[in-house]
Structure 1
């Protein structure tokens, strides 16, 4: 009986020790529409679109008769303001690959805030290719 009690007590102690090691700082990103303080590109959304237009280069295979339409993009703006997890939800031709390249060069944003803390925010938006 003592062996079983010691075994159970040991199991509970080990469980408590390792449960505290879980990284609680990793949070699921909050949707852009739901976050209390929205993340902001330096200079605002107009400057963000200017940044994308300035750095976007029409892929070689599309020059002359390039694809047109709307590319749906999803990004995560981290708690430190960096862009990650660039995901092309809807592509037009090969524009998505170029948009990923452009966004990888994106400067840090002012991060979103929830309850006074910087939080990761998922931001979905369209980019029109003409």
Structure 2
């Protein structure tokens, strides 16, 4: 019986270690360095003018935003441009908004997130001549 318990304990211990190793490997694969100041910034295909046209065509401004005078202040989308040029982890940055304004802007902010997530691949940022993931902050100007 003691031999069986030792064998069972060793099997559980080894299985636990193997399970932990695979989880660590998965976690480490997502832990990549993301640059804030690369040597060469990421660029939208066609440059800033093409980016402005893309955003104007794809971001939907809700009617409530045009009818009511909401003081949203500056709005920015912050995201990561990966080494392959794809966009991920989109976040919206605004000044602190009251609950009524925040609720009224939810559709607009969702439209911004969708538009940014569906962007074509960017030319990635570079460090030492190699493509790297870079944080990018994109100010969104709303002119009504």
TM-score w.r.t. structure 2 length? 0.65
Between Structure 1 and Structure 2, the one with more helix by share is 2
Aligned residue for 1:103, secondary structure, equals helix
Corresponding position: 1:36 with 2:39 = yes
**CA contact under 8 A between 1:81 and 1:109: conserved in structure 2?**
yes
Tell me the C-alpha RMSD between the 2 structures.
Answer: 2.5
* Equivalent in the alignment of 2:86: 82
CA shift at 1:124, angstroms?
Answer: 1.3
Report if the CA contact (8 A) 2:80-2:135 is conserved.
yes
Q: Higher strand fraction: Structure 1 or Structure 2?
A: 1
Change in Cα spacing, 1:25 to 1:49, as seen in structure 2 (3 Å) is same
- Deviation of residue 81 (structure 1)? 0.3
Q: Does 1:123 align with 2:136?
A: yes
Shift >6 Å, 4+ stretches: none
Could you tell me how far apart the structure 2 residues matched to 1:41 and 1:47 are? 8
The match for 2:13 is none
1:101 aligned counterpart, secondary structure: helix
Gaps of 5+ in 2: 1-16, 96-101
CA distance in 1: counterparts of 2:41 and 2:122, whole angstroms = 10
Q: 2:67, 2:29 → 1: CA distance?
A: 51
Q: TM-score, normalised by structure 1?
A: 0.71
Aligned match of 2:77: 73
